[in-house]
Amino acid sequence: MINYHRRRTALRKILQRSGTSMKTADIHTALCKWFDDFSLHGKTTLRDLEALTETELVAVGEKGPDKKAKYWKSGRESFDLTLSPTEAMTLAAIFEHAQRFGFNAHTEQLGELREYAASEMTKHSARPLAWSQRITSGTRFTLLQPGKHDPAHLATIQAAILEDVSLEVTYLPRDAGGVECRYLLKPLALSYQDSNVYLSAYVEQEHWPAGYVPADQRGKYSSNGPRTLCALMLHRMLAVKTSWLDVPGPPHYDVNSLDAQKHLMTIHGEAPVPLKLRLSANLHNRLSENPLADDQVIVPQGDQHWDLSCSLYDTQGLRLFLLSNAADIEVLAPATLRSHVHQTLLRAVTLYASNEPAPKDTP
């Protein structure tokens, strides 16, 4: 016999996971599947739902296509967790960080949880505080505004990953002269980086307009051809819908693997490189406290310089870090990375030399 505490907890979880209004009959079917017990009576489910509405754990939902049915949705206080004040502060910091780095729509979806964390901090604070003025998140780098995407596209992709179904995506590839392409693909993972959302996917088919021949080298953030992995920008998707066709996708896929990551970010080479840098005092202080890698070793070289060695993938991120600190870091090895920094700095010096403002007249 399933007691009413377990039934009502299951009902709340069913409505929470649905995220939309459900009619009584569908909730009852889901409850029977939950406990693998189809002897449960529908009237018992109805009484449990009505009891839960009295405590606001369940609410009457929006009407659906069945005009005779009663609909229900998750209530405002339907959280099966209790946060301590310090845990609530940590969660508030996570929300603040997410929103600052392009997760506005996502944090709005969890608005009730965010309000709950704020209320727990307020209830246990010795004095009233505006928590938005007490918790913040940031970076020393300039944040770009996120690309504009359709939230419905993201919801469709999330559901497809959960349900293991395929998608048809109409896409605007980079460097294709404004030509649209339609992909049949398997959505595999979502990556949130640099204020944008990227889909790691396996493309089964691609359909270009008649007469258009894509370049051999597609570049980042477009398909690499049929039966390959790729990364697609959410804000370049023009249409997204589920497909009845089954795309199996690659076996043993892992978004953290090199094969998946090299599409999500630029990685030069197939293995980590032995990196050796000469640091000034400024970067020695910083990298002593915030290491580049777990195997980092720093050895003093005279009074004002230190040599750092470690193993890292040669990524776009590493190159940007080295260039942004070029006045305090000399790349000693590998030679290819040293040459890249050298050539980039030469181009920058040439650019600024040709645009140097004329000196002001002195009296």
For residue range 141-175, what is the model confidence (pLDDT) as tens digits? 787 888 888 989 998 999 999 899 999 999 999 88
Give the residue range(s) of CATH 3.30.70 domains in the chain: 267-353
pLDDT at position 3 over 70: yes
Range from 46-55, 78-87, 215-224, 346-355 carrying the lowest mean pLDDT = 78-87
Query: Under DSSP, is residue 32 helix (H, G, I), strand (E, B) or coil?
Result: helix
CATH code for residues 151-264: 2.30.30
Task: Read off the pTM.
Answer: 0.70
Q: Range(s) for CATH 1.10.10.10 in the chain?
A: 4-74
SS3 state at 246: coil
Which contiguous run of DSSP H or E holds residue 5?
A: helix 4-18
Nearest to 131 by CA among 70, 193, 186, 85: 85
CATH code for the domain defined by 267-353: 3.30.70
Q: Considering only residues 326 and 101, tell me which one the structure prediction assigns the higher pLDDT.
A: 326
Delimit the CATH 2.30.30 region(s) of the chain: 151-264
Determine the 3-state secondary structure of 148 from DSSP: coil
Instruction: Establish whether the linkage from the previous residue to 334 is cis, with ω within 30° of 0.
Output: yes
Q: Mean pLDDT across the chain, nearest whole number?
A: 86
Mean pLDDT confidence for 98-106: 72
For residue 11, what is the enclosing H or E element?
A: helix 4-18
For the stretch 204-263, pLDDT in tens is: 999 999 888 887 766 667 888 899 999 999 999 999 999 999 999 898 999 989 988 888
Q: Which fold has domain 4-74?
A: Arc Repressor Mutant, subunit A (1.10.10)
